[in-house]
Amino acid sequence: MGKRDDLIEQYANDLKNKCGMDPDMDLLTKVTIGCGPSIYDADASTVASSQPSKLETVKNNFLIKKLGLPDGPELMEAIGSVVDIYGSSERNKYRAVVYYMLTKHFGKEAIYG
């Protein structure tokens, strides 16, 4: 297995053990690939949920640009919900896991079809 496969396995474990979800491995793999090289960078691979500017970046670059959602208060509410599910005390919130949960939350799996 390659490094990406190891990371996908780690993300799947987070979804199962920290978020209480049974991951769709095909979708998780596609979301992870969609994150590009950021998954290999210690800083870029995680979302700093305590920094509002980082959450704005998730909203603008992922929810609006990638998923094509219109801007509105429900976007930040969804991000907050995902952070709560992941656990606000959880230090490492992996970007691929957050993006996966947001994709599922908004029913946008078809974008990765």
Per-residue pLDDT of 81-97, as tens digits, reads: 999 999 988 888 999 99
Asked if residue 100 has pLDDT above 80, the reply is yes
What number of CA atoms fall less than 13 Å from residue 38's CA on the CB side?
16
Are 48 and 64 a contacting pair, CB within 8 Å? no
Total structural domains within the chain: 1
Q: How would residue 39 be classed by pLDDT, with cut points 50, 70 and 90?
A: very high
Are 31 and 108 a contacting pair, CB within 8 Å? no
Give me the pLDDT at residue 92, please. 87
Q: What's 33's domain CATH number?
A: 1.10.238.120
Alpha-carbon torsion (73, 47, 33, 7), positive or negative? negative
Are 75 and 63 a contacting pair, CB within 8 Å? yes
Q: What percent of the chain has pLDDT over 90?
A: 93
